[in-house]
Every structure is written in C-alpha cells, then in structure tokens.
Chain A
Amino acid sequence: MMGSSLIFGISIWLVVKVFVLLALLMYIVFSLVVIRQIKLMLETVDMGLNLLIRFIGWAHFLFAVGIFVIALLIL
C-alpha cells in the first residue's frame, strides 16, 4: 500500500509522515512547557508532593519523545 498513491511523484504517505512527525515535535515542545509549568506551580505552592508531580511531568515528556522516535522508525 505504501507508496502506491503519488502526488507529483511524492508518496502521499511520506507527506503524512512529515506532518505526523511535525505534530509529534510540537507535542514534545508542549510537554516541555508542562515541565516548566510544574516548576512554576511548585515554586508557588509546595504541598510536599514535589517529587511525584515532577516525575509525572518528566514521564509525560519521555512518553512524547518515545512516540516520536517510534514514529520516526516505523513510518
């Protein structure tokens, strides 16, 4: 199926892949903003759960990076 649909000699799935990777890159930037946001929130109010919330923020970032790498490899 891959490469069967061509627009100006370019596979449509290649175009889709580029857009998917761009979207995933934007998501990685978003997850970095979330980490920054968590830092700001913890500076404002500290309730003794800093480690857990920071961990979730970083896990979310690593999840986004992981999906980006997988997309890069399998698409």
Chain B
Amino acid sequence: MPDIFKAPAVPKVSKRLNIEGLEKFSHGPFSSFFYLPNSVRFIGKDSSEKIILFLRRHPITNIGWIILTIILLLAPAVLSVFPILSFLPENFRFIAVAMWYMLTTAFAFESFLNWFFNVCIITDERIFDVDFLNLIYREISEANIDQIQDVTVRMGGVVRTVFNYGDVLIQTASAVPNIEFSSVSRPDLVAKVLRELRVEEEEEKIEGRTR
C-alpha cells in the first residue's frame, strides 16, 4: 500500500550543550576532562557521531605510582652508600643496576599507559567506558544515551573533595546494566552533561529528528 503522507526527515542538529563553564575545558591530549575534543577517534565511532566529553581518571590518582617511581629511581644511588651488592663482581653489579632501572621504566610506562588509555567517552548518542584490565585484555562497555536510567555521583573523602573528583555510576537499560566512570574530574558536571543529553534525546524523539 502506498504511503499517503511521509514526513520529511529533519536533520539532527549538532549538539552543543547549554552548560556554563564547559567551554574552558578544552585542553591537550593529557587532559582528564576534555570538552568537544576534535582530535580524538575511537573504535566503532560513527562518522556523524560527535564526542561531547572525553574523560579519564583525575591526574592526582597518578601520584602513588609517580612517587614510587621516583623512589625506585633514587634507590640505587641511595643504596650505593650501603655495601649490599658488594659481594657481586663489578660487571654483575652493573647489570643488576641496569635491570633495576629497566624494571622501573616498565613499571612507570605501564602505569602511565593504564592511566592514559582507560578512558570514558560521552558522545551525542552513546556513552563508552574503555578499560584495559591487563597487558592485552580490553573491555569496552557501551550504552545509548536514551538507555540511561539513572546517574549517581559518588564523591567522598578528603582528597576527592579537595581535588573535585569522584565516580559516576550510570544505570542503563542496555546489555551492560551498570557503567562506572571511576575517579573522573568534576563528576557533578559530568552528571549534568548526561542529564542535558538525555533531555535533548527525549526532545529529538518527540520532534522526530533523525540522524
């Protein structure tokens, strides 16, 4: 049966949120709170999809491994005062110190990669949580914006309050019931962005806007 009336598809407008102060969070690739990053690509991204927020753990969460790395780097110099390796021949001592620095490098590099690549992405259509659990195992959780049912912000403790970071727990109606953005900067702002996006998604459904 032929269609009597076919509503023209209204193009979806590009989303730009009306949240004050968001514009100032546009920094470089090491930023932990990046609004509208143009240079970021991720696996499975649609060509028309726009990244609204790019998040990773707050930089202060790196302090533990950075301090440990500094201690490990200084240890051979400090311990040279004590004759711990004096029983070893000179050449073995040199290799022992070289191996120590090698392991320290590996520890620091792995810790950096772990922070740099464990990211959370909010696009105008979906949310992603990318986790690298060990050397070669990755886990990507994804849900559509309209599947978000509840957003909870969890913040507590002196350090988290002082540096303004916390967890954002997102309950969804998708196959992944819970998505957690751990230790992200400005969790309240993240929750606000998600709320705005959900409202916009609802409006789009009502207005029949399509991509």
Interface size on A, residues (CB 8 A): 34
List residues of chain A with CB within 8 A of the CB of B95. 20, 67, 70-71, 74-75
| Cβ-closest chain A residue relative to B134 | A37
A-B contacts, 19 listed (Cβ < 8 Å)? A27-B99, A31-B106, A33-B135, A34-B110, A40-B136, A41-B113, A41-B117, A44-B140, A45-B119, A46-B40, A48-B29, A48-B39, A53-B113, A60-B106, A67-B95, A67-B98, A71-B95, A75-B91, A75-B92
List residues of chain B with CB within 8 A of the CB of A1. 89
List residues of chain B with CB within 8 A of the CB of A34. 106, 109-110, 135
- Interface size on B, as a range, is 20 to 34
Q: Is the CB of B94 within 8 A of A60?
A: no
Residues of chain B whose beta carbon lies under 8 Å from any beta carbon of chain A: 29, 37, 39-43, 89, 91-92, 94-95, 98-99, 102, 105-106, 109-110, 113, 116-117, 119, 121, 130, 132, 135-136, 138, 140
Q: What CA separation (Å) do A44 and B39 show in the bound complex?
A: 14
